[in-house]
């Protein structure tokens, strides 16, 4: 049985090597994070907390999938030591510090989801305060989030090393996401256009492929410098294609470093 921890007092009784923050509805992508975390230390803790601060739409918050029984099985099967299931009052006790996301937090995902990244950074900082891990691991699918968390950790001199993990994809190339369960078979088939477009490694060619799939409504598709989030130039060394859009009102994001497939 996996150890279930609900209070900060119980957290403090152990020294945690790696934290894997999640909002639950776990899948093989999360499982890969836990397994990677195990390579950095034996004491791996997975947090499950649906963070209200990062939802600009309260209906989305209410409808976020809650699958705690299967989540606990995945956490245990992947080899974690414990799962942290805090209440909202435990996370947002009196006097917690709200973290602003800055300029990068207001573009791309931040432009479409007002206040989202401030909510993400605030909860991640609180989890760092409570768990006090040596490492914390995040997936590259949410690349803008990963960038901002690294930026926050550096700015605040947080004593946690941020690790990143590669995107896990299904056989169609679709990046695994808790939202995929809302797509259905036809939606998953439509979503495969995203990976096909990214794999071209060129913005204009990618846009042409996306246009060929009318059921995918693109929000943004850009080539960026992954070290700054500025638009990439011809001589940019660390280019990354980023994309977001909707299939039947389900928002999907993805990205790819140039040179990878």
CA angle 119, 57, 59 (to 5 degrees): 125
What φ, ψ does residue 174 adopt, rounded to 5°? -75, 130
Known catalytic residue at 30: yes
Catalytic pick among 27, 30, 116, 195:
30
For 21-35, letters b (16+ CB in 10 Å) and e give: bbbbbbbebbbbbbb
Cβ–Cβ under 8 Å, residues 78 and 42 = no
Q: Which residues contact 33 (CB under 8 A, 6 or more apart)?
A: 20, 137, 138, 139, 165
Q: Which residues pair with 19 in a beta bridge?
A: 45, 136
The rounded distance, in Å, linking the Cα atoms of 34 and 147 is 20
Which positions are catalytic?
30
């Amino acid at each position: 049985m996996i150890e279930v921890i609900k209070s900060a007092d119980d957290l403090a009784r152990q020294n945690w090597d790696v934290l894997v923050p999640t909002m639950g509805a776990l899948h093989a992508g999360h499982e890969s994070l836990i397994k990677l975390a195990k390579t950095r230390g034996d004491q791996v803790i997975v947090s499950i907390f649906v963070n209200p601060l990062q939802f600009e739409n309260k209906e989305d918050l209410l409808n976020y999938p809650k699958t705690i029984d299967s989540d606990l099985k995945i956490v245990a099967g992947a080899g974690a030591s414990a799962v942290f299931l805090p209440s909202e009052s435990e996370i947002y006790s009196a006097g917690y510090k709200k973290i602003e996301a800055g300029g990068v937090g207001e573009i791309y995902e931040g432009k479409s989801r007002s206040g989202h990244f401030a909510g993400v950074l605030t909860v991640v900082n609180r989890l760092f305060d409570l768990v006090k891990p040596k490492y914390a691991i995040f997936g590259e699918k949410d690349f803008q989030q990963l960038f901002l968390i690294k930026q926050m950790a550096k700015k605040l001199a947080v004593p946690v090393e941020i690790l990143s993990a590669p995107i896990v994809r299904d056989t169609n190339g679709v990046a695994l996401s808790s939202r995929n369960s809302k797509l259905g078979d036809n939606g998953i088939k439509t979503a495969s256009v995203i990976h096909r477009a990214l794999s071209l490694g060129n913005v204009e060619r990618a846009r042409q492929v996306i246009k060929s799939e009318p059921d995918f409504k693109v929000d943004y598709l850009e080539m960026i410098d992954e070290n700054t989030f500025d638009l990439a130039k011809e001589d940019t060394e660390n280019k990354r294609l980023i994309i977001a859009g909707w299939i039947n009102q389900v928002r999907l994001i993805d990205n790819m470093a140039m040179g990878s497939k």
